[in-house]
Amino acid sequence: MLTIALSKGRILDDTLPLFERFGVFPMENPSKSRRLIIESNKPDIRFLIIRASDVATYVQFGAADAGVVGKDLLLEHGGDGMYETLDLNIARCRMVVAEPETASATSQAASVARLRIATKYPNITQKHFAAKGIQTEIIKLYGSMELAPLVGLADSIVDLVDTGNTMSANGLKEVETIADISSRFVVNRASMKLKRQALSIVIDRMRESLKGSEH
Secondary structure element (H or E) that encloses residue 92, with its range: none
Among positions 91, 109, 187, 199, the unique one binding ligand PRT when judged by CB under 6 A:
91
Which 3 state secondary structure label does DSSP give 113? coil
Please provide the distance, in angstroms rounded to a whole number, between the alpha carbons at the two ends of the chain. 33
Backbone angles phi, psi at 179, to 5 degrees: -160, 150
Taking alpha carbons only, the member of 103, 92, 209 closest to residue 156 is 103
Segment contacting ligand PRT (CB under 6 A): 55-63, 96-104, 158-166, 171-179? 158-166
User: Which is nearer to ligand PRT, 150 or 194 (by Cβ)?
Assistant: 150
Residue 78 in the binding site for ligand PRT (CB under 6 A): no
CA–CA separation, 14 and 211 (whole Å): 14
The answer to whether 99 and 80 have CB atoms below 8 angstroms apart is no
The answer to whether 170 and 40 have CB atoms below 8 angstroms apart is no
Segment contacting ligand PRT (CB under 6 A): 3-11, 40-48, 149-157, 199-207? 3-11
Among positions 100, 164, 174, 179, the unique one binding ligand PRT when judged by CB under 6 A:
164
The answer to whether 186 and 84 have CB atoms below 8 angstroms apart is yes
Residue 162 in the binding site for ligand PRT (CB under 6 A): yes
The answer to whether 58 and 68 have CB atoms below 8 angstroms apart is no
Among positions 72, 76, 99, 155, the unique one binding ligand PRT when judged by CB under 6 A:
72
User: Which is nearer to ligand PRT, 7 or 60 (by Cβ)?
Assistant: 7
Sign of CA dihedral 133, 138, 143, 146: negative
Residue 124 in the binding site for ligand PRT (CB under 6 A): no
User: Which is nearer to ligand PRT, 174 or 207 (by Cβ)?
Assistant: 174
| Cβ within 8 Å of residue 74, ≥6 positions away | 56, 84, 184, 186
Segment contacting ligand PRT (CB under 6 A): 8-16, 30-38, 121-129, 172-180? 8-16
Residue 50 in the binding site for ligand PRT (CB under 6 A): no
Per-residue contact track with ligand PRT, 175 to 214, x per CB under 6 A? ------x-x-------------------------------
Q: Binding residues for ligand PRT, per CB under 6 A?
A: 7, 9-11, 51-53, 70, 72-73, 91, 93, 159-166, 181, 183
